[in-house]
Structure 1
């Protein structure tokens, strides 16, 4: 359905040619064709972690296909029979664009250039992200694979279904391609989700009613929580998690969760390739191209990318179009280089701090919202 339409759309729209190479403002995104410059700027710090300690599992192969055709690569979404673009448009940052008009332009240009995977969540930016994306998808809904997330945070099936109806209304669609339980980051979340009349029952109901095609869950805190969710053996289609070149050395989703997903045929969705806030890029530890290439070289279906401007979109399109998978040795060299920064978790504070946990979940678990916390 969506996969066929996506293929037709890709044939109709040729990729835009980027005319300039430049550093972007803010977190310093590197322009298209700047790969030759990276070698001159790579940091050569000594690793504090032995390479043998952070080798990926033999059950976690890297992506082997080469894509230099100028088109965004497509990959299978696990066992669903659907293919999606290897890089996706993040809904959280879309809702932070300078205006609704800019967000619509970003979405349209992303679709016209081959991005099919649309990420969102019920709570993003007080629902603005869904509202803006919903407007942008008018007349283009059949060209994308639309995902949003239910933000029950331990509340019951009824609340989840109410949120689904609200998401459908804001996104201006009669169905969601992928509906995921959002931000499973508290250690008692799995028990709350899987309890009788819990949110997990809403996933089955939504699929039965034809409002949702596929289901999954997300989280950024601890691989142990993801593994606890998987221990219930629920037939999830997808799992979303942070994957980046620091993760292998600190509470690693790549090492602990990704092999299990691949073993089960569950599609892995990557996020936080730039460590969530781009701090590692700002400080010159990695370049955007290295970080995104690393995540895309892992066996994932797609990488959700934070995009809040046309400039950032065009930079990420350039990286995805020219994607060349990192070789095993190249990935290991990057892990080794990042290990001294990764071991204390400084670039993945979302794993060890509540600062990055959304208000919706904080409140449901009895924590004050961010606005009431002293920094």
Structure 2
């Protein structure tokens, strides 16, 4: 599975572009101990052969985009840069405001991929495709040359992904959680991945290690096993979040010279995950609101989880404690 050498590249759907099989997830980048560490992580990722960089308008209240932009400064041409728009059912005009903010934070004049962030509710596909919905923003951004490709993401329900595909919008990419637990529970691997490959839409895998690594912390799998499983699936790229240089080095060791697992090895990992998969305990992003971004819940007028990362950031940003805390200063609001 692991070896030395370059990270393999793979076709990005039918776009004609190739990307590294391992990508750098953007949420965890904003959890690095400081800006310098985050910038160093981005530089090391580039040097290690990673070309795909993930981010999102709302990650860490804008801090993730800001730090990623600083890390890619002077090296933009080496990166396939993706970020996500956080309308969560709201209209195209808001999406275009968010795009301009993302471009400013990322210090670039265009994105390689712009995706709808976190489709989570059954009416999200209808809200996306309606007149004046975010679909119009994706089309305009592409026409204006500010975005090369478009897609959507989500980690709640594979049926919502299928409903998004049924809107008829010409998506270039789709992002979803893929790991051995998913193979056994509300499975994106079983339901969505085959459809994407049939249509030539680039599949992007995320949460290979469960979001925050709980399966590793509890000794169920090693990080190397989980990352190897996800990268062995028929996807364009697997995203893994990194907040510490040591984690990046661990990931690079798996990805450099990577050889996919055999079908027999993959099935053994699925079987090992099966006893833990039935209640979603290692996929809380499917069964709880722990991973729901507050922007999505506010847009749908749902209550927030006070323990969720961005909710805590929102709370702290309003407290006059004298402690610095990242804030979005140009937010168009909820």
Do the two structures share a fold, i.e. TM-score over 0.5?
yes
Deviation string, structure 1 residues 90-132 (Cα, Å, up to 9, x no partner): 1100011000000000000100111000000000001000111
- Determine whether 1:258 maps to 2:209: no
How far apart are the structure 2 equivalents of 1:74 and 1:82?
A: 10
The match for 1:116 is: 51
- Determine whether 1:272 maps to 2:243: no
CA-atom RMSD, angstroms?
1.4
The more displaced of 361-370 and 132-141 is 361-370
The match for 1:345 is: 280
* TM-score of the pair, normalised by structure 2: 0.90
Q: 1:187 aligns with which of 122, 131, 135?
A: 122
Matched residue SS, 1:148: strand
Q: 2:234 aligns with which of 299, 324, 341?
A: 299
The match for 1:84 is: 19
The match for 2:269 is: 334
Q: 1:93 aligns with which of 18, 25, 28?
A: 28
**Offset of residue 233 of structure 1:** 2.1
The match for 2:321 is: none
**Offset of residue 344 of structure 1:** 1.8
The match for 1:19 is: none
Residue correspondence of structure 1 range 346-365 to structure 2 within 5 A: 346-365=281-300
- Residue-pair matches, total: 309
- Determine whether 1:135 maps to 2:70: yes
How far apart are the structure 1 equivalents of 2:241 and 2:177?
A: 13
Residue correspondence of structure 1 range 277-296 to structure 2 within 5 A: 277-296=212-231
How far apart are the structure 2 equivalents of 1:329 and 1:276?
A: 25
**Offset of residue 330 of structure 1:** 0.9
How far apart are the structure 2 equivalents of 1:321 and 1:357?
A: 32
Contact 1:76 / 1:83 at 8 angstroms: preserved in 2? Answer: yes
* TM-score of the pair, normalised by structure 1: 0.81
The match for 1:222 is: 157
The match for 2:84 is: 149
Deviation string, structure 1 residues 159-200 (Cα, Å, up to 9, x no partner): 000000000011010000000000001111111111110001
Deviation string, structure 1 residues 240-262 (Cα, Å, up to 9, x no partner): 00000111110000000000000
Q: 2:172 aligns with which of 221, 224, 237?
A: 237
How far apart are the structure 1 equivalents of 2:292 and 2:120?
A: 8
The match for 2:259 is: 324
- Determine whether 1:73 maps to 2:8: yes
Unaligned runs of 5+ in 2: 312-334
The match for 1:369 is: 304
How far apart are the structure 1 equivalents of 2:2 and 2:223?
A: 18
**Offset of residue 369 of structure 1:** 2.8
**Offset of residue 68 of structure 1:** 4.7
How far apart are the structure 1 equivalents of 2:279 and 2:58?
A: 30
Contact 2:3 / 2:253 at 8 angstroms: preserved in 1? Answer: no
How far apart are the structure 1 equivalents of 2:232 and 2:132?
A: 39
Contact 1:67 / 1:73 at 8 angstroms: preserved in 2? Answer: no
- Determine whether 1:313 maps to 2:248: yes
How far apart are the structure 2 equivalents of 1:314 and 1:177?
A: 25
The match for 1:49 is: none
